[in-house]
Homo-oligomer: A and B are copies of this chain.
């Protein structure tokens, strides 16, 4: 087999914002596969804020990507050749397959992939497995319901609301009978949240100074306070939300995108004491904490998409060669819903 495998490897740990030079491009020949091994072709590569964490060497929920290693990434792939009893040529899989055209799976690699069942797939779109039916959808569903425990009539607030996770959180909270308010970084995103996704209110946080101004803007659209805050960003929005939380509010802590690019230590919320005063629960989580409930999430979300209760937005970047640029762009906050790179054509 003389195919060339294009790869991006991590060359430098980012300082502040990600730079293209943090990656290096390389071409490798694909080795032949041995017994129990499998060779897959990547179709779509997911871009996620957490990629920034993996590139750093800060204490995190997985080992950092080693310098010189292929950049870690979630992808959907098709099996091209298999000497594993578990998979056959033509099967679709999902997993940590890396920023590359092809992946050779050996030994423990199989623990990080799962087969995709196209029979449950609405709209016949494989890419749903990166968005609403994938890790971001499960994250929204399981974090919101297990930790947030939203009750009908409660106010659910979500930051990064136009993102892949946030947009799902808001729609699921609406299905559960809540008042839903989100923050996003542009007028067009806010319009999309309200007019397409059914959010009750959306705030363009860039219109308000952190502190009192932002607090007042939030108070205005949350007249009954905030019962659940699904936090994707941390920072000044978290601080403002803490001034508006109700007694016994729940904060599923999903992400801290506002500080991933920080160059040094970042102070935690100045209103941390409100966690005590209002007896708030903050619960950090990672989707893998809820492995056992994946199929529950999957079934529910598929059904909601089929019924038109959940809408989604996808942004496709064409070509693996554009992955570094696209990840940098993700942190500019200009995209709506799920962003992924198309690496090769579906069979």
Interface string of A281-297 (1 = CB under 8 A from B): 11111100100000000
Whether A278 and B273, one on each chain, are in contact in the complex, defined by CB atoms closer than 8 angstroms, is no
The answer to the question of A265 belonging to the interface, with a C-beta cut-off of 8 Å to chain B, is yes
Q: What is the distance, in angstroms, from A55's C-beta to the closest C-beta of chain B? A: 15
Q: What is the distance, in angstroms, from A142's C-beta to the closest C-beta of chain B? A: 12
A61 vs B270: C-alpha distance when bound (angstroms):
17
The answer to the question of A1 belonging to the interface, with a C-beta cut-off of 8 Å to chain B, is no
Q: A267-B267, A268-B267, A269-B268 are in contact. Are A284 and B289 (CB under 8 A)?
A: no
Among B61, B265, B273, the residue within 8 A (CB) of A277 is: B61
Taking CB atoms, residues of chain B closer than 8 Å to A289 are 248, 279
Q: A59-B243, A243-B59, A275-B253 are in contact. Are A270 and B280 (CB under 8 A)?
A: no
Interface string of A187-209 (1 = CB under 8 A from B): 00000000000000000000000
Interface string of A231-273 (1 = CB under 8 A from B): 0001000000001000010000111100100000111111111
A274 vs B259: C-alpha distance when bound (angstroms):
13
Count chain B CB atoms within 10 A of each CB in A59, A273, A281 and give the residue with the most.
A273
The answer to the question of A276 belonging to the interface, with a C-beta cut-off of 8 Å to chain B, is yes
Taking CB atoms, residues of chain B closer than 8 Å to A59 are 243, 274, 277
Among B265, B267, B284, the residue within 8 A (CB) of A280 is: B284
Chain A interface mostly: loop
- For residues 120 through 163 of chain A, which have their beta carbon under 8 Å from a beta carbon of chain B? none
The answer to the question of A60 belonging to the interface, with a C-beta cut-off of 8 Å to chain B, is yes
Whether A268 and B276, one on each chain, are in contact in the complex, defined by CB atoms closer than 8 angstroms, is no
Taking CB atoms, residues of chain B closer than 8 Å to A60 are 277
Among B255, B268, B277, the residue within 8 A (CB) of A272 is: B268
Taking CB atoms, residues of chain B closer than 8 Å to A58 are 273
Whether B61 and A279, one on each chain, are in contact in the complex, defined by CB atoms closer than 8 angstroms, is yes
Closest to A278 in B: B284
Q: A256-B273, A267-B268, A274-B59 are in contact. Are A282 and B282 (CB under 8 A)?
A: yes
Whether B272 and A265, one on each chain, are in contact in the complex, defined by CB atoms closer than 8 angstroms, is no
Q: What is the distance, in angstroms, from A296's C-beta to the closest C-beta of chain B? A: 20
Whether A272 and B61, one on each chain, are in contact in the complex, defined by CB atoms closer than 8 angstroms, is no
17 extra interface residue pairs, beta carbon distance < 8 Å, beyond A276-B284, A279-B286, A281-B283: A58-B273, A61-B279, A234-B273, A248-B289, A253-B275, A253-B276, A255-B276, A259-B273, A265-B270, A267-B267, A267-B268, A268-B268, A268-B270, A278-B284, A281-B284, A282-B282, A282-B283
Question: Chain A interface (Cβ within 8 Å of chain B)?
Answer: 58-61, 234, 243, 248, 253-256, 259, 265-286, 289
Task: Please name 7 pairs of A and B residues whose Cβ atoms are closer than 8 Å in the assembled complex, sorted by A.
Answer: A253-B276, A256-B272, A256-B276, A265-B270, A279-B283, A279-B289, A281-B282
